Structure 1
Amino acid sequence: MPWPLPAVFIEFEQYEVHQLSAWRREADIPVRLHIVTRAQTYTAGANDKRIDAALQYFDLIDRVNAAMQALSGEGFGAFQLTASATNHNHGELMENIERWLTHAIDATADRPRQAVTLSTMEIIDRV
């Protein structure tokens, strides 16, 4: 099914989870963004008016990068760019893959802590 362009598809890579205390867990979560646009063809000549449209592709990547760098929230830190692969040409489509990494802490299973105490009387009654 076709989709409107430009488009950004999100791919979550596999990640390892590490158990923490108090029913919490953490992970470094890698995410790939597939930025897809229509391919722009132009000649190398300076008079080709299509070069501006072709270079807008990089402006889009810059806008996506600015949005990702500002993204953080409850339970996960700011995203960091770790890799970029530009100009994967798929016929009439062009794809850029940006790989980002964030550190997340999952506290959804967190429970209130309860103090456990035994009174002196209970210990004597058991002996």
Structure 2
Amino acid sequence: MDDDIYPRAIRHIDLWNHNVEFIEQEVAWERPAVFIEFVPFKWHAIVPGVEYRAQPLINLHVVTDWAEQKGIGEFRLLDRIHELLAGLEGNTFMEFDIDSSATNHNHEDIVENIETYTCVGFRHLK
């Protein structure tokens, strides 16, 4: 698909590495950007040595330019992301859904919204 006809709302996706804290030192990335952070979690044995489950938290750091904000525009983007992710499931997880939200506007030119999702994760070793 052509980006001119079907523009992507998210211009950059990557793993979280405190990207907004070191924004001046990094190679520039287009915005809106989404950085995925896997919060440490604990596995629980269902069948010890074979099957495990967990309820991990996944933070989505949604970064937009402050200058582009027109009231609550970035929140519409967050709603669209949620529409696409709610209920997502795969071979190793299910019940992907939003847990909490926070807005970090302690940066000069950007706004960072942190959307925390949870799911049920599976790990089968044998």
> Would you tell me which structure has more strand in proportion to its own residues?
2
2:64 counterpart of 1:34? no
**Cα deviations by residue, 1:46-83 (Å, 9 ceiling, x for unpaired):** xxxxx7x4432111111111112042111211212111
2:95 counterpart of 1:73? no
Q: Which residue of 2 aligns with 1:46?
A: none
- Give the alignment partner of residue 56 of structure 1, picking from 64, 73, 85: 73
Under a length normalisation based on structure 2, what TM-score does the superposition of the two structures give? 0.70
Give the secondary structure class of the aligned counterpart of 1:25.
strand
Structure 1 stretches of 5 or more lacking a match?
42-50, 111-127
| Matched residue count | 99
Give how far 1:34 is off: 0.4
> Would you tell me which structure has more helix in proportion to its own residues?
1
Structure 2 stretches of 5 or more lacking a match?
1-26
4+ runs deviating over 3 angstroms: none
Q: Which residue of 2 aligns with 1:9?
A: 35
Tell which has more relative contact order, 1 or 2 (C-alpha 8 A, sep 6+): 1
* Structure 1 contact 40–54 (Cα < 8 Å) conserved: no
Question: How big is the alpha-carbon RMSD for the aligned residues of Structure 1 and Structure 2?
Answer: 1.8
